[in-house]
Structure 1
Amino acid sequence: MGLSAEDERAASPRDEEWPEAEKAEKLARGAALKWASGVFYRPEKLEGLGQYRSRETQRNSSIQSRLKSTVQSYLEGVSAGLEQLRSAAQEVQSLCQDLGAARWALLNTADRFQGLQQMRALMAEHVQLASVVQVLPQLFSVQEVFSHTLQLLHGQQLLEAHAELMMMEHLRDDILSQLHLHGFSSAQATVLSYFSGLQELNDTLAKQLWDIVGSSLHLVHEDPVLFVSAVRIIEREEKIDDTLLLEATFLPPGRPKGWRQKFYHVLQETITGSRFQAPRMDTEGSGLARHLAALQKGIVSELHVVKDLMVQCVPAHYNILSVCTATFHQALSSHLQDILREDLDKQALFLLLEWTLRVYHSQEMMGHPDLLPEVDVSALGPLMSPELVDQTERKYVMKVKASVLEWMQRTLEVEFKEWFREEEPETDHQGFFQSALPMIVMQMLKENIQVASLITESLRQKVYNMALEELEAFLGRSVEPLAPLARPCRDLQGFPQIQLLSLSLQPGSFPPGCPHGLVLYAIPFPLPFPGPLGLTPRRHPVLTALPAQLLLMEMELLVASQYLRALMQKKVVCKSEEERGQLCARLLLDATQLRELFCGLGLDQSQQSLEAVFDLQELICLKDPALLSLEVLGFITKYPDVSDEHISTLLDIRGDVSKEVQHMVLDMMAQHPQVVPEGYRPIFSTILVPVPELPFCLRKGKCA
């Protein structure tokens, strides 16, 4: 259905005025057409057209009613709003008229305000005069209060004196604040002059406070009330400082006082000056030891006082124990640096290192049970820096080196005088001439190394290296006087770093061409057998030039026998096949390294006794214990000086040999006794086996 021409003309103005309505109507028509086409797309549906028309007519009527109601309500609201706007416009117009009238009235009375300004100035002056009149009694009594306060200070009535002092300061500061506020700066000098006695009282009180703080470690024992009073006064002043700094409008003269920081400063100066700024002390002999002992005793005692007494006399936020601990630590560090600037002997250097690195942190001092856990110096850093410790250790080693050098020189001179006397030297059990000098030298060096090991591993290593260097030099010095006697044999060269020297004269048994029969033996320290499986092998000494092939052979025999002797101590017993394999690998590695060492020194492999270590390794590595009898038979044939005890010990080291197999092996050895051939170099006969523990029996019966 379309609209008529009249309807379109009637709707045109409205559509031009309300374009949204036209759009909404088109959308509605489109939606209606879409709905109708969906409902009446079949002829039989047209039968219900009347019902749809009736229902939609009712719905349109309802919607139109609601629209009329809404529009009516809207129009009523608009009408009420217009009425209120009209009323407000009238009131604004009336107010403008009233303001204009008031403005004209004020302009007419401007001359009268000049008189009120004078009145205001007079009133302000009156207020000031009234304030002055109120404080006049206090102003007149200032000098009297000063005298009374001074008497209280002399009587050590500190809290009462401080209360009066605060009252006078408050009066002065209030007057100065008023002058500052009103711009009367020129009058401030007069006020300060009138209250000049306050500064004297303040200085007197401060002096007493710092004297008390300086004696605090004694006062907390004798008169803690006086110390507590001083702390309370300091806290009062700290609160006044905080208040004035927070307001930040006017700071009176002398503020902020900062007495809490002064408290810390005086306490630290007291701790530092009492023990660490004493006159120059004796750094030699026992003087340094006594000084360090006094420091140790005094510091522990004073920290006890701080922990048990002083902590209870000050607020918790003072952290007084931590402050004192840090002060002692820093003062000690500086004090030790001052001592180290002196030319100290080796004993003094050792004492400083021991005291710094061991005693200071031990239970005898800062780790004392009565100080823990409150006292903790672990967070304060080392007492001596690592660089200073290293420098001090080097100084100590230099002093020890000088002492060792001097001692060795004197000892060597005495020794050669003994050797070149007309009387024959002492002989050993084999008839060889012998000297105790090597053992004495080694004992002296060993003692120095052991002493150094009490401090740090780095110091032990430094002394150890120095000992090797000095020993090498000593060997060279010891050979020089004998060179004329030994030169026909072979030129003696300097000895390398070795660990033991045995100087022997062997009459009738020396290489051809040595008419005086002088043979020099340089024998390394017995090589210790490794401990538990998996420790790293130790660095063996290195030998380069030796006087004779015989010397190399003797050294190699000694090394091999000492290695076997260490093994025979049964410090290692295999508990499994895996451990047995590890032991065999270790034995093979050590024997190979030692064989290569002596081969490098010029000793042929056929002349070495280390072959016994290889054969012994094969004996331990044998996988089938049933073949031990055959293996042992071959072993004793090659080494006829081996005993039943040696074989029993080796079988025990295996850890898997039963008693029956062991008895069978020993029976086989009894059935095949060995004879030591001529020219055989014995190796096992010099090795003693530990005696087994015998069972303990009380009766004649069979022992368990």
Structure 2
Amino acid sequence: MEEQESPALAPAAPHSPDTMGMSAEDERAASPRDEEWPEAEKAEKLARGAALKWASGVFYRPEKLEGLGHYRSRETQRNSSIQSRLKSTVQSYLEGVSAGLEQLRSAAQEVQSVCQDLGAARWALLDSADHFQGLQQMRALVEKHVQLASVVQVLPQIFSVQEVFSHTLQLLHGQRLLEAHAELMMVEHLRDDILSQLHLRGLSSAQTTVLSYFSGLQQLNETLAKQLWDIVGSSLRLVREDPALFVTAVRIIEREEKIDDTLLLEATFLPPGRPKGWRQKFYHVLQDTITGARFRAAHVDAEGPGLARHLAALQKDIVSELRVVKDLMVQCVPAHYNILSVCTTTYHQALTSHLQEILREDLDKQGLFLLLEWALHVYHSPEMMGHPDLLPEVDVSALGPLMSPELVDQTERRYVVKVKASVLEWMQRTLEVEFKEWFREEEPETDHQGFFQSALPVIVMQMLNENIQVASLINDSLQQKVYNMALEELEAFLGRLREALVQCGKEHQQDRAVPKYYVSYLLAMLNNNLALSNSVSSLHPDTAHREVPASLRAALDRMQKKACQLLLEELLLDLQPLCLQLPSRKWLSGSQLVGSMCEVIDKYAKHFSRVRKPVFTLLLMETELLVASQYLRALMQRKMVCKSEEERGQLCDRLLQDTTQLRELFCGLGLDQSQQSLEAVFALRELICLKDPALLSLEVLGFITKYPDASDEHISTLLDLRGDVSKEVRHVVLEMMAQHPQVLPEGYRPIFSTILVPVPELPFCLRKGKCA
């Protein structure tokens, strides 16, 4: 449409013809109106501006002026429509204002009429005020008449109070409780009504007289209450035999509770003795009956069998009584009593306290174990609180544990202490028996493979394993505690067993005939130690963590080393007489000295074969090292010095023969040549066989490189054994050793460091300094 052309194409018209055509007189004429109606002037200006903007947008081209008549007629019709709507709105507004004014005029007239009526009423009341004075006396007389009429009505009841007291007491003695309670309530209602009236009138002095007159009520209440609580205390028996009496007691208690609730709700006057709170007393008596019957025993046997009987009786009685409560008592009391929940909670709390009291006793290990097992397993089992006859109504899971985690941990520690004392005592007796076995006149027993052994490992491990398995029946925590204790006790036992071996060795040194089979029992102890070492890992309940602690492993190693040491000392005693003959001229000439040594070694090797292979190999290696070190020690005792080259040749031949014979012996016994230390004798022989002493420095360097624990004293002694080494060569060799200090490599088995050589006698020197 042409009317809707975009304003962007229309030229700006800042000065329209209509605006330019306004005269100064029109503006002055409009100024008073602007001052009077500034909003109207502002609106008119905005309207004119909008109209001019629209007109400039529509008629900005001459050809658009052809539709001017159309736009004029359309706007005229629009203005006529707007004016008619405005006139209709103003007319409606004026009619509403007129109706409102008429209503206000009518309301003002009515208010004026009311004010006149109120004034007339006021003057009428003032005129009749004197006539009301006589009515006050009439009101007092009426109140007094009402009071006297009330007193006259209750006089027969008041006069019969003492008779009612006697009759009520007879009813109580005859256990006609409902009738007795009805009369008691009647008398109490009469007393309370009188006291209430006196309280409202402020006659406190008269209340004492009334209380004195009704003093028998206190005795009746006490008598009735005593019978009620006796019935409640026997409720578990009554509901099985004749629940009527128990139901009667509950009905009376509920009546009293309703009276208490009514009086507390009114909260204007509370009679003496109210509220009685008999429902709470019912709970208290029932709970006291439960706890008193089962848990207030004078003393519980601290020994295991007595405690087991006591716990079994508790288990049986509690299940039986809870079944009575669930099946019978619940039907005799209102549902809101929650009687089964109350009894269950009472039993649970009473058991918690009772177990704490039992734990104050000095229980033995069996008693502590029974208590833990009962609290952690039996209590929740189908044999007790999880009994099918009690489920699902009885649920103790929400009541918390019977023993707190702290108490369980404390009890577990006490149990471990008791078990530790028992284990210690048992191990001590086992050690004493084992020590006596060592002095028997017969060899130790053997297994199916012929290895020496004793019952010691089986006894010890079976005892420890049984205690760990027993602890596993309680929980993992106790099992871990007992396991840790077992390892500690085993480590301590190994220490005592080692001391016993030392004591046996001392006695054997004093008389080698005692014990008769000393070596055999030492070998049996080595097998026992190996069996213990292999069995320790099986003690741990978790196969993924079966690792022997370092301290226990060290104790086992010390035990093995001590037994090996005692065996080697025994071997050394047989070898020493032969070693004392080395070196000598007789030995150089072809003595059977080393042959005798081989016989001794072979004899001990046959004994060693009765021990299992890992230890047997260790014994062979230690024996070979002992023989090699003793052979070297004998050579370094400065007993012989070669006087000639021929004698040195004899010495080299003898060393070769002896060492070869010994090496072949140990190889035949199963010891590989690479594991032998006799190679040191072959290396020493090379030093002695060297033809040119000037080359000794190089030979010694190779020797100390292979045997870095060889000292200056050892080398000096070996040089002395040659008999042809000058001071200058000795000095060069020692200087060379000083320039090439050796460090022991890792895993090196020292041989020369265990050999002490005699200190040479120094020649007399005049000057200070080192003597050659």
TM-score w.r.t. structure 1 length?
0.67
Q: Gaps (5+ residues) in structure 1?
A: 491-503, 512-516, 562-594, 607-676, 683-704
Partner of 1:471: 493
Partner of 2:718: none
Q: 1:234 aligns with which of 253, 258, 266?
A: 253
Kept in 2, the 8 Å contact 1:505–1:520? The answer is no
Q: Cα offset for 1:77?
A: 3.7
Q: 1:527 aligns with which of 530, 534, 539?
A: 534
Instruction: Name the CA distance, whole Å, in 1 between partners of 2:519 and 2:47.
Output: 142
Kept in 1, the 8 Å contact 2:526–2:611? The answer is no
Instruction: Name the CA distance, whole Å, in 2 between partners of 1:77 and 1:432.
Output: 130
* 1:69-107 C-alpha deviation (Å, 9 max, x unpaired): 444444344344334333433333333333333323323
More helix by proportion, 1 or 2? 2
* 1:248-292 C-alpha deviation (Å, 9 max, x unpaired): 332222222222221221111111110111232443363323222
Q: Cα offset for 1:208?
A: 1.5
Correspondences of 1:257-272 after superposition (within 5 Å): 257-272=276-291
Q: 1:213 aligns with which of 220, 223, 232?
A: 232
Partner of 1:546: 562
Partner of 1:93: 112
Q: 1:253 aligns with which of 249, 254, 272?
A: 272
Kept in 2, the 8 Å contact 1:346–1:400? The answer is yes
* 1:601-620 C-alpha deviation (Å, 9 max, x unpaired): x989x9xxxxxxxxxxxxxx
Q: Cα offset for 1:448?
A: 3.9
Letter in 2 for 1:299: I
Partner of 1:679: 669
Instruction: Name the CA distance, whole Å, in 2 between partners of 1:469 and 1:38.
Output: 113
Kept in 1, the 8 Å contact 2:233–2:289? The answer is yes
Kept in 1, the 8 Å contact 2:438–2:521? The answer is no
Q: Gaps (5+ residues) in structure 2?
A: 1-17, 569-604, 626-666, 673-772
Instruction: Name the CA distance, whole Å, in 2 between partners of 1:302 and 1:242.
Output: 32
Partner of 1:622: none
- The change in CA–CA distance for 1:302 and 1:555 in structure 2 (over 3 A counts) is farther
Q: Which moved more, 1:316-325 or 1:459-468?
A: 459-468
Q: 1:115 aligns with which of 128, 134, 146?
A: 134
Partner of 1:180: 199
Kept in 2, the 8 Å contact 1:549–1:603? The answer is no
Partner of 1:349: 368
- The change in CA–CA distance for 1:148 and 1:12 in structure 2 (over 3 A counts) is farther
Instruction: Name the CA distance, whole Å, in 2 between partners of 1:404 and 1:533.
Output: 22
Instruction: Name the CA distance, whole Å, in 2 between partners of 1:521 and 1:679.
Output: 19
- The change in CA–CA distance for 1:184 and 1:4 in structure 2 (over 3 A counts) is farther
Correspondences of 1:122-201 after superposition (within 5 Å): 122-201=141-220
- The change in CA–CA distance for 1:328 and 1:80 in structure 2 (over 3 A counts) is closer
Q: Which moved more, 1:110-119 or 1:432-441?
A: 432-441
Kept in 2, the 8 Å contact 1:283–1:344? The answer is yes
- The change in CA–CA distance for 1:560 and 1:248 in structure 2 (over 3 A counts) is farther
Letter in 2 for 1:294: A
- For the residue of structure 2 that corresponds to 1:365, the secondary structure is coil
Instruction: Name the CA distance, whole Å, in 1 between partners of 2:232 and 2:355.
Output: 26
Q: Which moved more, 1:57-66 or 1:103-112?
A: 57-66
Correspondences of 1:12-27 after superposition (within 5 Å): 18-27=37-46
Question: Is the counterpart of residue 369 in structure 1 residue 388 in structure 2?
Answer: yes
Instruction: Name the CA distance, whole Å, in 2 between partners of 1:418 and 1:367.
Output: 54
Letter in 1 for 2:669: G
Letter in 1 for 2:120: A
Q: Cα offset for 1:343?
A: 2.7
Kept in 1, the 8 Å contact 2:351–2:402? The answer is yes
- The change in CA–CA distance for 1:113 and 1:476 in structure 2 (over 3 A counts) is farther
Instruction: Name the CA distance, whole Å, in 2 between partners of 1:434 and 1:37.
Output: 129
Q: Where has structure 1 moved over 6 Å in runs of 4 or more?
A: 1-15, 429-434, 507-511, 517-520, 528-534, 549-557
- The change in CA–CA distance for 1:64 and 1:518 in structure 2 (over 3 A counts) is closer
- For the residue of structure 2 that corresponds to 1:304, the secondary structure is helix
* 1:33-86 C-alpha deviation (Å, 9 max, x unpaired): 445445544445555555555555555455444444444444344344334333
- The change in CA–CA distance for 1:205 and 1:138 in structure 2 (over 3 A counts) is same
Instruction: Name the CA distance, whole Å, in 2 between partners of 1:480 and 1:450.
Output: 34
Kept in 2, the 8 Å contact 1:307–1:371? The answer is yes
**RMSD of equivalent CA atoms:** 4.6
Instruction: Name the CA distance, whole Å, in 1 between partners of 2:485 and 2:88.
Output: 114
* 1:192-218 C-alpha deviation (Å, 9 max, x unpaired): 223322222222222122111111111
Q: Cα offset for 1:338?
A: 1.9
Letter in 1 for 2:356: Q
Partner of 1:283: 302
Q: 1:203 aligns with which of 204, 222, 225?
A: 222
Instruction: Name the CA distance, whole Å, in 2 between partners of 1:119 and 1:411.
Output: 112
Instruction: Name the CA distance, whole Å, in 2 between partners of 1:556 and 1:52.
Output: 136
Question: Is the counterpart of residue 298 in structure 1 residue 317 in structure 2?
Answer: yes
Letter in 1 for 2:563: P
Aligned-pair identity (%): 75
Instruction: Name the CA distance, whole Å, in 1 between partners of 2:390 and 2:521.
Output: 69
Partner of 1:384: 403
Partner of 1:311: 330
Partner of 1:328: 347
Instruction: Name the CA distance, whole Å, in 2 between partners of 1:159 and 1:559.
Output: 94
- For the residue of structure 2 that corresponds to 1:535, the secondary structure is helix
Q: Cα offset for 1:678?
A: 5.1
- The change in CA–CA distance for 1:119 and 1:533 in structure 2 (over 3 A counts) is closer
Instruction: Name the CA distance, whole Å, in 2 between partners of 1:254 and 1:204.
Output: 15
- For the residue of structure 1 that corresponds to 2:562, the secondary structure is coil
Instruction: Name the CA distance, whole Å, in 1 between partners of 2:104 and 2:88.
Output: 25
Letter in 1 for 2:564: A
Letter in 2 for 1:527: N
Letter in 2 for 1:679: L
Instruction: Name the CA distance, whole Å, in 2 between partners of 1:555 and 1:120.
Output: 131
Instruction: Name the CA distance, whole Å, in 2 between partners of 1:119 and 1:200.
Output: 44
Kept in 2, the 8 Å contact 1:397–1:466? The answer is no
Letter in 2 for 1:548: C
- The change in CA–CA distance for 1:533 and 1:387 in structure 2 (over 3 A counts) is closer
Letter in 1 for 2:493: L
Q: Cα offset for 1:390?
A: 3.4
Correspondences of 1:61-80 after superposition (within 5 Å): 61-80=80-99
Instruction: Name the CA distance, whole Å, in 2 between partners of 1:348 and 1:221.
Output: 35
Letter in 1 for 2:293: S
- For the residue of structure 2 that corresponds to 1:523, the secondary structure is helix
